[in-house]
Structure 1
Amino acid sequence: MADIETRLSRLEMEIKNPRFMENRGVGNEVRYYVFDYPAEQELIIRAWVRDIVRKNKNNYTTSSIVVFDLYEMIISFLKEKGFMEKCYEFEKNRGLTFLAKTIGDAMRFSTDDSIIIRRIQNDTPDNAIVFLTGVGKCFPILRSHKVLNNLHQVMDKVPVIMFYPGKYDGQELVLFLEVKDDNYYRAFKLID
C-alpha cells in the first residue's frame, strides 16, 4: 500500500475525474467505496477532508462534496433529544453493550427509516459526492455495515466514499486491525 499522502493525492484526482460522477460500475451497480487507512492516520484524514471540501467550494465545480460525520450525527441527535446524561448513566450502570443497543433503537439503526440514513438522503443534493467519516469514533455504537447496507437501499444517484480507519480487502472490514467484521459490504476498495 502506498503512503497516505500518495493515496490521498490519487483519491483527489479520482474524484475530480468526470467519469467518477457517472457513478456506475461494470454491472451498472451504484458505486460505494471504502477508503481504508491505518487508524493512527486519522488526524491526517480529517485535515485532508476539510482541505478537499474547502478546495471544492473555491473551485466552483459542478459537483459538491457533502461530509457526514457519523459520530457527530449521533451526538447531535442525543443532545437534541436531551439524552446525553441518560447515556452516561446507562454506560456506567448497564455497560457499553446496553448503551449501544439503546442508542441504536432510538435512532433506528437497523430499520429502513434510520435517522442517520434519512438525514444523509435528505441533505445530499443531486450531483454530489458523499463522504462518510467518524466511523472509528462511533464504534461500537454504530457499525459501518449498517450504514452502507441501509444507504445502498435508498441512494443510488451519487457516489459514496466511507473513510475507514482499519483494513478493507474488498470483502470484510477489520477495524483498528483488531476487530474483524464478517459482514458483506457492497462497496469497492478505493485507492490501494
Structure 2
Amino acid sequence: MSDILERLDKLKARLQDEDFLKGNGLSNEVNIHIFCYDPADEMAVRYFIEQLAVDQDVNCNVKVKNLYKIFLKLCTDKRLIDKIPGLEKSKGSEILLKNLEGRTASAKNFVQEICKDGFSEGDVLLITGVGEAYPFIRSHDVLNAIQPQDSGKIPIVVLYPGTFDGRDVKLFNRLPKKGYYRAFNIIGMEEKL
C-alpha cells in the first residue's frame, strides 16, 4: 500500500509543476499522460482523487471526469438506463453492447460530455472510471476522439488500472494489449508497475 501512496504523492506534485501545466518539454506532442496502478489499489486511488478534487492548496484546477458516470448519464439521457437489464436478459450481453456502442457509448458522445463545460489555463483533466466503464468504452478511444477537441490546451491524465509500456495499455493487467502511443507515463517509465 505504501508504494501506491508514494506514487500518488508524486502524481500530486507533478500535477502542480509549472512545466507540466504548460506542456513544456513535449516537443509538440499531445499533453496526454497515463498514471498506471495495480487494480488492487483502486480504492486508494479513488480516495486520493476525491481529496485532490477539493484540495484548496493545489496549484491547478483539477477537473475530474469519470467515464462510468458519463456512461450512466448518457444512458439516462437516452432513456435507456431502466431498459438495460431487460435488454441484456432477452438479447444477450454481446447484442446489448453493440446496441449501446451505436446509440450511446461512442467516443464522440463521451468527449462531448467531457468537454461541454470547457477548460481554462491552469486546468488539469483527470479521466477516471476506466475500469468501471469497460467494456462500454475504452480509454484509448476517448483519447483518440478528444485530441481534435483539446489540441493540447490542458494536460490530460488518465488514471489507468493496468499497465502502460509507452506504447500499449493493458487493462487490469489481464486484457489483451491495445496500442495507444500518443501518451506519456506521467511518473516515468522506471517508476511504473
- TM-score w.r.t. the length of structure 2 is 0.89
Q: How far 1:24 sits from its partner (Å)?
A: 4.1
Report SS of the residue matched to 1:123: coil
Distance 2:39 2:105 in 1: 27
Report SS of the residue matched to 1:84: coil
Query: Which of 97, 119, 130 is the matching residue for 2:113?
Result: 119
Report SS of the residue matched to 1:43: helix
1:64 equivalent in alignment to 2:58: no
Provide the residue aligned with 1:95 in structure 2.
Answer: 92
Q: How far 1:179 sits from its partner (Å)?
A: 0.3
Q: Tell me if structure 1 keeps the 8 A contact 2:124–2:156.
A: yes
Any gaps of 5 or more consecutive residues in structure 1? none
Q: How far 1:97 sits from its partner (Å)?
A: 2.2
Distance 2:94 2:181 in 1: 23
Distance 1:97 1:143 in 2: 16
1:59 counterpart letter in structure 2: D
Provide the residue aligned with 1:131 in structure 2.
Answer: 126
1:109 equivalent in alignment to 2:114: no
Distance 1:47 1:6 in 2: 14
Any gaps of 5 or more consecutive residues in structure 2? none
Aligned-pair Cα RMSD in Å? 1.7
Query: Which of 163, 166, 182 is the matching residue for 2:178?
Result: 182
Distance 2:12 2:58 in 1: 15
1:104 counterpart letter in structure 2: E
Distance 1:179 1:60 in 2: 35
Deviations 1:56-99, CA, capped at 9 Å, x for gaps: xx2374x3111000000110121232211221122222222222
1:183 counterpart letter in structure 2: G
Provide the residue aligned with 1:143 in structure 2.
Answer: 138
Distance 2:12 2:142 in 1: 24
- TM-score w.r.t. the length of structure 1 is 0.89
Distance 1:145 1:51 in 2: 26
Provide the residue aligned with 1:76 in structure 2.
Answer: 73
Q: Tell me if structure 2 keeps the 8 A contact 1:4–1:37.
A: yes
1:38 equivalent in alignment to 2:38: yes
Report SS of the residue matched to 2:161: strand
Report SS of the residue matched to 1:164: strand
Distance 2:176 2:81 in 1: 29
Distance 2:93 2:118 in 1: 32
Distance 2:126 2:183 in 1: 13
Provide the residue aligned with 1:7 in structure 2.
Answer: 7
